[in-house]
Amino acid sequence: METISESRCYGGVQGVYKHASDATGTDMTFGLFLPEEAEHAPVPVLWFLAGLTCTHENAMVKAGAQVWAAEHGIALAFPDTSPRGEGVANDDAYDMGQGAGFYVNATQKPWAPHFNMFDYVTSELPKIITNNFAVDEERQSITGHSMGGHGALTLAMNVPQYRSVSAFSPICNPTAGDWGRPQFTNYLGSDETTWERHDATLMMRNVGLDIPLLVDTGANDQYADYLMTENLWAAVAERRKAATLRLQPGYDHSYFFVSSFLEDHVAFHAEALYA
């Protein structure tokens, strides 16, 4: 593993690292914030998954999460959104290919050799981080924005390792919209039954969720037709799941929105991580 940079931040360290990934067959870069408490003992970690067109840098630089993570003694992990580099399939559209992995394991050509972001985020990168840094493998929670919100919700519904999940402006019902159907067809093939585990609305209806859930979406989100927020809320009501689902008046899809409510989300996860 290569250290790209390490900077003092709110008493802790914000680092950026690169490593060779078995899951993607490429070099992958991630950000990791360690609070001051990590100098003495392993700390819990909150995963932050970014959205379309983003890298590990977007949330790391724009969200301002480090100040709240430092306050609660929580590490922050910022993975990339897809494999990158020479020989990695791509597409001219911003919502396909590099920068748009949708947190799935692709099964179709030309995506399958490298686009295995589900395994990378849930298995490979957690092992790398807990093996190399003072991060507790038992205390993990997850959040994300937009495509990353989709990833946070669906990963939490598929694997049991998270204690809580939240999302900002998540893509809630991708099998029913343009931020989902074209991508799933390309990555996973035309058999729509293979898509279901990557759709938070369908997973909520079919499987449910047994950990605390918090979702914030801006009432003025310019991508509302792609997010299908109401479908997830309906599924939560049908499942009679205790959840906090908030529509924030006046806010859009930007990181200005994310940073405005991030304190709430970190505190929400801290309660679960330190329970």
Encode pLDDT of 232-263 as tens digits.
Answer: 999 999 999 999 999 999 999 999 999 999 99
User: Which pLDDT belongs to residue 161?
Assistant: 95
Other CB atoms within 10 Å distance of the CB of residue 175: 15
pLDDT tens digits along 163-207: 999 999 999 999 999 999 999 999 999 999 999 999 999 999 999
Percent of the chain with pLDDT over 90: 100
Burial class of residue 249 in the structure, from the number of CB atoms within 10 Å of its CB (0-12 exposed, 13-18 middle, 19+ buried): exposed
User: Which pLDDT belongs to residue 208?
Assistant: 95
Confidence grade of residue 28 (pLDDT, cut at 50, 70, 90): very high
**Pairing relationship of beta strands 75-78 and 27-34 according to DSSP bridges:** antiparallel
In contact, 117 and 154? CB cutoff 8 Å: no
Cα separation, 13 vs 4, in Å, equals: 13
Residues classed as catalytic? 146, 221, 253
Structural domains of the chain sorted by starting position, each given as residue range(s) with its CATH number in brackets:
2-273 (3.40.50.1820)
Collect all residues with Cβ–Cβ distance below 8 Å to 245 and sequence separation of at least 6. 213, 214, 215, 232, 233, 236
Mean pLDDT (the chain, rounded): 97
Percent of the chain with pLDDT over 70: 100
- Which structure tokens are listed for 273? 């991580």
Q: Tell me if the pTM is above 0.95.
A: yes
